Amino acid sequence: MFKKVFFQIHWFLGITAGLILSLMGVTGAIYSYEPQILKWINQDSYVVEVAQTPKLSPAQLYQHFNQQQPEIEINSITIASDPTASSTVNIKKEGARRGYNMMVNPYTAEVLPDIKGRDTLQFIQRLHRNLTAGEFGAQITGASTLMLIFFVLSGLYLRFPKKHTFKQWFFIKPKLKGRNFIWDLHAVVGTWVVIFYLLFACTGLYWSYDWWRAGMFKVLGVEQPQRNQHNNERGKDKQPELTKPQVSTILTQTWTGVNAQIGREYSSLTLNIPKREDAKVELSFVDAIPQHERARNQAVYNYQENKFEKFELYEDKKLNEKIMSSMLPVHRGSFFGSTYQFIAMLASLAMPLFFITGWMLYLKRRKQKKLTLAARQSLSAQPIDPNAKPWLITYASQTGVAEQLAWRTATSLQEAQQPTTVKPIQQLTEQDLLQAAQVLFVISTYGTGEAPDLAASFSKKLMQQDLDLSQMQYAVLALGSKEYPDSYCSFGYAVDTWLKQCKAQALFDLIEVDNANANDIQRWNQALSVVTKHELHAMNIEKVFDQWTLAKRTLLNPNSLGQAAYNIELSSASDMTWHAGDIAEIQPANSLAEIQNFLIQYQIPTNSLVESLSQTIEQLLWDKNLRVEIKPFSMLEDLLEQLPSLPTREYSIASIPSQQILRLVVRQQQDEQGQLGLGSGWLTEFAQLKQTIALRIRTNESFHLIGDNRPIICIGNGTGIAGLMSLLQQRNRQNYTANWLIFGERQRECDFFYQETFQAWLNMGSLQRLDLAFSRDQEQRIYVQDILRSNADELVKWIEQDAVIYVCGSIEGMAAGVDQALTDLLGEEKVDELRQVGRYRRDVY
């Protein structure tokens, strides 16, 4: 929960404050090279031709400007040791707190051209510091900088628990596609720049908040200088002001004495023009090879006694003193050398990358998070034909597919200006049916042919009545899977039969949908187009698969009487999220051997290029069903058109995101010819370790974990332990201990999946009760429903404490037996009530 909150705050602040930080990053990167930029575009101001005579001294420059421009007031004069470098005369100028630097020829005192670009860079600096909006803007940039610290720390926190290798943490993986690549770019580059951004933020706040500045001085153990103290002391000085000839004499004495006594090379030396007759001249100089551009040495020279009274070298300062006296170089990176400064500049320029990729991830997550919700939201903006008859669309859904199709149907109709209302079938009343003129039923079949759990009351109550629905026109879209031929779309057919018995008139024959097949859904769309006499937009179930890696595969039940069951662990290069109880949908693939046998059977040369698709035949056959009948073909394109894609396979997820892996429990299945099933064969045998697996996480809201600490009763058998494991893992993380697990399999010795984990939870108190039913360990077979019956009083007690029941596993035998046991022990009415209020949830197959 804590991590989820951090994630929500991280992305919310990112998509709001990210734009400000992007602007600050780009402007900061530009301004960090202000001296170099100005010198590069102003060569005629910074560089002069070397003359045969020596450079003019500060006194000579002072005298020159007193004669030529007596109106100006000189603050300081800087002489560079480089013969080609110009000298700088800083003069007082209104509005310029630090004066105005006038570049002059050091040999002739000619005033050189004004510095071009200075105003532009000052504008960039203001944009960087306060968005050119004064104090109000400074508050915005200050707050955004505080957010940057949160982004860095929360981003690290969201990544840190990952058991990634160094390569996964720090290397971009260009082979990734789509959202995975965007996330990788966001996270990996973000890790690269962590140190830079923390330093930018911590030093940038030095100028934003007085309390932060005072805190930095305190933390680093440096006494904070008092602003204007020196000027105030000067104001109290009663000594008379110097005349211009006196100043000229003092500058001459100082320049001669300083150069004679300084004892070290310098790149530039600045003399401040003395204002009082106190025998002192303040000066600063930069070493020949300085640590950075503001590594100034400070001195006070007594020209009467011809000696230094104060001589402070920058290199002699302690590190903490250097940092606090050089905040701008630390902030822009030059404090740490030119290489670091360049990398810091690149990091600063990268700031928009996180804003852009963050938005892209947000938009993709928003698009994929709930396709159903997106469909609902699209309804409101459509104009409606006031003369069109309204449509009532109802759905019976277990895992959300029928619900999604119902909402997509509503969207399609409303785009054609048809008024629609969507209702889940459990909310449908007798009055709704008696009044509705046009009703569309989107009906899933669950288990061995029953109604979905939430449609049970509709099946048991309304469908048992003989209603007069002669006013109703209807159509049924029945969802199922042909892999279960005995129950294929059976509940949809039951609804259709009942409606006909109630004299409702079918708009067209029932349409079957096999595993959300796009062609089947399009037939529904076309039939509605004919009825409404409107061209309806095509609709389908969006399936966007992510790339996962098969990280681990372990046999869970060696020597078992049953089929082999495997612990499958998959990892992702990007942060993926899901809820306990969700489902992993796998796109199976063909083994290389099966593809090769297929090519041999149809005499197709290996590596044949399908020119229209620019891929080899092997690449195109990876997810095709090669077990169907093939008609003669002349071109490979004709062959591919005959091959449907392999149907996907769904598995309950046995782990939660914080465990850093996606775990499945997969039992091998075999057909009548002894061939392994598509999904189980692919995951347990054909796919190689480290191979890529196409997988999408599908939300399974009807099996999600409750968010409070009410007791839960988990009941399951075989590989159904997967869905229950995720629920119990999450409860363990939440420190909710009122958990009861009832698990059944064949033999304790071979089939007690994850025994050590459950035993540890039991010992820690995370699992309050653990009851096991190993059917083959005794002469009289015992199943989980028998455990329920033998613990009837305990069951009633937990139900009275608002317990929620979760059932996961096989529909035949286990789930049906549990349902009957609950009905016998609690009563049919109570079981229906539990189902309706979400206290009886099933994930069965």
Is the distance from CB of 159 to CB of 311 less than 8 angstroms?
no
Sign of CA dihedral 776, 777, 782, 783: negative
Q: Which residue has the higher pLDDT, 320 or 644?
A: 320
Orientation of helix 351-369 relative to helix 2-31, angle to 10°: 150
pLDDT band at 366 (very low <50, low <70, confident <90, very high): low
One-letter-per-residue 3-state SS of 301-320: EECCCCEEEEEECHHHCCHH
Residue 155 in domain: yes
What φ, ψ does residue 317 adopt, rounded to 5°?
Answer: -70, 150
Please give the Cα distance from 309 to 298 (Å, whole number): 11
Please give the Cα distance from 522 to 531 (Å, whole number): 14
Residue 362 in domain: no
Computed over every residue of the chain, the mean pLDDT equals: 87
Let me know whether 258 and 283 are in one domain. yes
Structure tokens at 282: 């303040």
Strands of the sheet containing 307-312, edge to edge, are 100-104, 87-91, 74-80, 266-272, 280-287, 296-302, 307-312
pLDDT in tens, 428-439: 999 999 999 999
Let me know whether 144 and 198 are in one domain. yes
Residue 328 in domain: no
Is the distance from CB of 671 to CB of 827 less than 8 angstroms?
no
Please give the Cα distance from 661 to 726 (Å, whole number): 12
Residue 324 in domain: no
Residue 425's closest CA among 456, 391, 471?
Answer: 456
DSSP letter assigned to residue 373: H
Which CATH number does the domain housing residue 768 bear?
A: 3.40.50.80
Residue 336 in domain: no
Please give the Cα distance from 777 to 791 (Å, whole number): 20
Structure tokens at 23: 């602007």
- Domain range spanning residue 62? 53-111+241-316
pLDDT in tens, 295-335: 999 999 999 999 999 999 999 999 999 999 999 999 999 99
Residue 410's closest CA among 429, 430, 432, 438?
Answer: 438
> Residue 150's pLDDT is what?
85
Residues paired with residue 583 on neighbouring β-strands, in sequence order: 652, 698
pLDDT in tens, 809-844: 887 789 889 999 999 999 999 998 998 888 999 888
pLDDT at residue 662 tops 50: yes
Write the DSSP assignment of 705-737 as a string of letters. PPSS---EEEEEEGGGHHHHHHHHHHHHHTT--
Which residues lie closer than 8 Å to 222 by C-beta, 6 or more apart? Answer: 320, 321, 324
> Residue 540's pLDDT is what?
64
Let me know whether 550 and 524 are in one domain. no
Please give the Cα distance from 620 to 544 (Å, whole number): 18
Let me know whether 171 and 250 are in one domain. no
> Residue 176's pLDDT is what?
60
Which CATH number does the domain housing residue 628 bear?
A: 2.40.30.10
pLDDT band at 160 (very low <50, low <70, confident <90, very high): low
- Last residue of some domain: 641, 672, 698? 698
Please give the Cα distance from 100 to 111 (Å, whole number): 13
Residue 286's closest CA among 314, 258, 307?
Answer: 314
Is the distance from CB of 129 to CB of 207 less than 8 angstroms?
yes
Helix boundaries (H) for 389-517: 401-415, 430-435, 456-460, 490-501
Burial zone of 768 (CB within 10 Å; 0-12 exposed, 13-18 middle, 19+ buried): middle
pLDDT at residue 497 tops 70: yes
- Last residue of some domain: 532, 560, 579? 532
Let me know whether 505 and 377 are in one domain. yes
Let me know whether 176 and 93 are in one domain. no
Q: Which residue has the higher pLDDT, 361 or 351?
A: 351
Structure tokens at 72: 């100006």
pLDDT band at 382 (very low <50, low <70, confident <90, very high): low
Let me know whether 404 and 527 are in one domain. yes
Let me know whether 83 and 171 are in one domain. no
Residue 683: which region, alpha, beta or left (left: phi > 0; alpha: psi -120 to 50)?
Answer: alpha
Number of domains in the chain: 5
Least confident range from 236-245, 578-587, 729-738: namely 236-245
What φ, ψ does residue 522 adopt, rounded to 5°?
Answer: -70, -30
Which CATH number does the domain housing residue 420 bear?
A: 3.40.50.360
Structure tokens at 476: 């049924």
Highest mean pLDDT among 177-191, 223-237, 732-746: 732-746
Let me know whether 220 and 311 are in one domain. no
Let me know whether 84 and 166 are in one domain. no
Residue 360 in domain: no
Percent of the chain with pLDDT over 70: 92
Q: Which residue has the higher pLDDT, 496 or 179?
A: 496
Q: Which residue has the higher pLDDT, 178 or 148?
A: 148
Residues paired with residue 310 on neighbouring β-strands, in sequence order: 300
Percent of the chain with pLDDT over 90: 56
Give the SS3 label for residue 112. Answer: coil
Please give the Cα distance from 12 to 772 (Å, whole number): 46
Let me know whether 391 and 472 are in one domain. yes
Residue 670 in domain: yes
Structure tokens at 531: 């009825």
Place of tokens 């990788």: 184
- Last residue of some domain: 476, 499, 532? 532
Let me know whether 665 and 691 are in one domain. yes
pLDDT at residue 678 tops 90: no
Residue 409's closest CA among 399, 397, 394?
Answer: 394
Residue 815's closest CA among 836, 777, 841?
Answer: 841
Residue 406 in domain: yes
Is the distance from CB of 294 to CB of 330 less than 8 angstroms?
no
Q: Which residue has the higher pLDDT, 298 or 447?
A: 298
> Residue 191's pLDDT is what?
86
Give the SS3 label for residue 805. Answer: strand
Least confident range from 7-21, 301-315, 685-699, 758-772: namely 7-21
> Residue 15's pLDDT is what?
75
Q: Which residues of 534-555 are buried (b: 16+ CB within 10 A; e: fewer)?
A: bebeebeeeeeebbbebbebee
